[in-house]
Chain A
Amino acid sequence: MAITHIIFWFLTALALVSALMVLLSKNPVYSVLWLIAVFFAISGHYILLNAQFLAIVNMIVYAGAIMVLFLFVIMLMNLDKETEPQKDIWMKVAGVISGGCLLIQLVRLAKDAPEMVNKTALLKTGSIGLIENLGKVLFSDYVVPFEISSVLFLSAMVGAVVIGKK
């Protein structure tokens, strides 16, 4: 087993465990921290796939900016045990069961998929994930969606202003 395989499995395990902990943590602050761990693990996967730019962006934007924002919001909201809403236990059970079924179903489909058999991700190969190549593609082939995304951001900004304004 090569070192990359070991790293892959480690990162995968880390991502899954952290994701579970996000859900299971009672304290929202812990949840956010676990989420940062998830993002780091995913970024590790990106690096394995030779997509350094994506990995960096993922860490800076999600783990850095957004999560910090989340933490601030949660602290400002001053949550504690008393204000935590009580959830129906049956709803939890039903959610777990149905979500589990869906998961099993999807896994079963993916497992049987012929295109997945004997195939693993291409590690350390390909150069599309490098900043230079990504930039070239983004500003040639995908320039129209890239520019149109600005409308999306603009509308999000307008929305933020509308909601935030007194």
Chain B
Amino acid sequence: MNAIILSALCGVVMMFSGILLKNKSAIKYVAIAALLVLIIGNLFQFYGIYTIDIDSKGLLSFDRTGLFFNTIIFVATLAYFILSGSDIERAGPDVAEYFALIFFVLCGVTILTSFNGLLMFFIGIEILSIPLYILTGSDKKNLKSNEASLKYFLMGSFSTGILLMGITLIYGATGSFGLQSTTIKSAVTGFSSAGILAPVGLVLLFISMCFKVSAAPFHFWAPDVYDGAPSVFTSFMATIVKAAGFFAFIKLFAAKSEDFGPGPAWKLILFVIIVATLFIGNITAVFQQSVKRMLAYSSIAQAGFMLFALYSTNDFTKDGILLYTAAYSFATIGIFSILTKMEDYSLDGFNGLSKSQPVLAFTNTVFFLSLSGIPLTAGFFAKYYMLASAIKGGGSLSLVIIAVLFAAVSVYYYFKVIQAMYFKEGVAATNTPITGNFKVALIVLAAIIVILGIYPTALLGFYYF
């Protein structure tokens, strides 16, 4: 509860800071301070020190996993603010409002990590989505940004419609917003005579969540929106929001993990979706010339890996999704923060970066290595946990093999950037001077990724102790 209330309050504070403060960087520091308050407040609840206690009549429930996930998200946002804060300042005139919207998104995230029923789930999803439509279109003079915003809004509404339809069917059949195990059970066993409306509702829920996390074949919005939105907000959308979406997805469908077990229908559907996501994400990324667009596809590909957490729900899954969130978010935030500094977003724009900005090139390499899952980076263990959970779940070796093959494909396009930075001649130009603080922040982020890659339990240790 701490995080929900504090994040909403922080949003309001940011709105007023826009009126009271005329200095843009002052707003940034207010935002960072507010975020620190948020982190501390959340930790207070995590360690049981102090909790704002409001009786939600069983609509919200807080568990350690959710609170810990909040912490990861907040820390990732902190990294995002520190690295990309100055880019938010440059994104448009309404800096304070952007920060406010980001805090509202965080409020949605905290609801999604603690919902206990479809009603709060829906509210969480909406609070998460609406600010994003606006952030996507924040670059008002850019036609691409406007187009992306409108596309995102249209298709987002479409998926929200599906989501609502699913919730309606479930509510109609069971008379409750809760996810009873019988509902899921009948959905798992597929077409059965016991009841059909609730299972169909669950399938619709599933489809709309696939849309939210940009799993193929519901991913079409993602490349256009990620490409069209201002890079600094793409970074936020592709990492923090997406991870939160996944967490909600898993929380929703693993709510009764013992029932959401190895149902043939779900396994089949998930199998198809995972393979399609990996295929489309990885293969399409290969041919992209713009690094930004390549990252959009790469985020689809990474979603394929995160879907493994749904495919089999066991001990590995929870650790895996936490680790994956951290690994993926940190690396992508780092990459985008560098990307937004670049004059030219195409691959050629990175040519020779290692000469002009060695620190940027090096940390960028670490981030890309982590994304492709090379050992000694956090991405390796993240992928490992996901695949291990699938193997532990049993009977899905073929899926794991496919995933590993596509991971190999991903190395190809990630390394194209590394190749451009180190082995191609050119003058990679940045659009703003690179400050020392920025470099230090990048190095710290890269160090975290490497530490997590050597010692992943450093992160999970917080969770268990």
Contact = CB atoms under 8 A, between A and B. Distances in A.
Interface of A: 106, 109-110, 112-116, 140-145, 148-149, 151-152, 154-156, 158-159, 161-163, 165
Kindly name the residue among B11, B12, B126, B130 whose own CB sees the greatest number of chain A CB atoms within 10 A: B130
A150 to B, nearest CB: 8
Contacts of A162: 92, 94, 97-98, 101, 134, 138
Contacts of B8: 148, 151, 154
Kindly name the residue among A110, A112, A163, A165 whose own CB sees the greatest number of chain B CB atoms within 10 A: A163
B454 interface: no
Nearest to B55: A144
Given A109-B196, A114-B195, A163 B140 contact: yes
Contacts of A116: 197
Contacts of B200: 106, 109-110, 113
Contacts of A154: 8, 11-12, 104
B285 interface: no
Contacts of A141: 57
Nearest to A148: B123
A152 B57 contact: no
B65 to A, nearest CB: 21
B400 interface: no
A165 B94 CA distance: 9
B195 A151 contact: no
B127 interface: yes
A151 B193 contact: no
Given A110-B197, A141-B57, A155 B127 contact: yes
Nearest to B15: A158
B196 A151 contact: no
Nearest to A112: B196
A159 B134 contact: yes
B67 interface: no
A163 B138 CA distance: 7
Contacts of A109: 196, 200
B107 A151 contact: yes
Contact of A161 (B54, B97, B140): B97
B60 A144 contact: yes
B308 to A, nearest CB: 28
B133 interface: yes
A109 B98 CA distance: 44
Contacts, number: 93
Given A144-B57, A144-B60, A149-B123, A155 B130 contact: yes
Contacts of B195: 113-115
Contacts of B120: 144-145, 148
A142 B59 CA distance: 8
Interface residues of B, number: 40
B123 A152 contact: yes
Contacts of B97: 158, 161-162
B197 A155 contact: no
Interface in B372-398: none
B23 interface: no
Contacts of A140: 57
Interface in B94-111: 94, 97-98, 100-101, 104, 107-108, 111
B20 interface: no
B111 A148 contact: yes
Contacts of B111: 148
Contacts of A112: 196
A110 B173 CA distance: 11
Nearest to A159: B134
Contacts of A159: 101, 130-131, 133-134
Nearest to A155: B104
A162 B132 CA distance: 12
Q: 9 tightest A-B contacts by CB?
A: A159-B134, A113-B196, A155-B104, A144-B56, A155-B131, A151-B8, A162-B97, A162-B94, A141-B57
Nearest to B146: A163
B101 A155 contact: yes
A90 to B, nearest CB: 18
B119 interface: yes
Nearest to A146: B123
Nearest to B122: A145
B127 A151 contact: yes
Contacts of B101: 155, 158-159, 162
Contacts of A110: 196-197, 200
B57 A158 contact: no
A143 to B, nearest CB: 8
Nearest to B7: A151
B194 interface: yes
Kindly name the residue among A113, A144, A163 whose own CB sees the greatest number of chain B CB atoms within 10 A: A144
Contact of A158 (B92, B104, B108, B140): B104
A67 B87 CA distance: 39
B164 to A, nearest CB: 14
A144 B54 contact: yes
A26 B11 CA distance: 43
A109 B196 CA distance: 7
Nearest to A106: B200
Contacts of B11: 151, 154-155
A141 B57 CA distance: 6
B204 to A, nearest CB: 9
Nearest to B120: A145
Given A151-B8, A161-B94, 10 more contacts: A113-B200, A114-B193, A114-B194, A114-B196, A115-B173, A148-B111, A148-B120, A155-B100, A158-B101, A162-B138
Contacts of B238: none
Interface string B171-213: 0010000000000000000000111110010000000000000
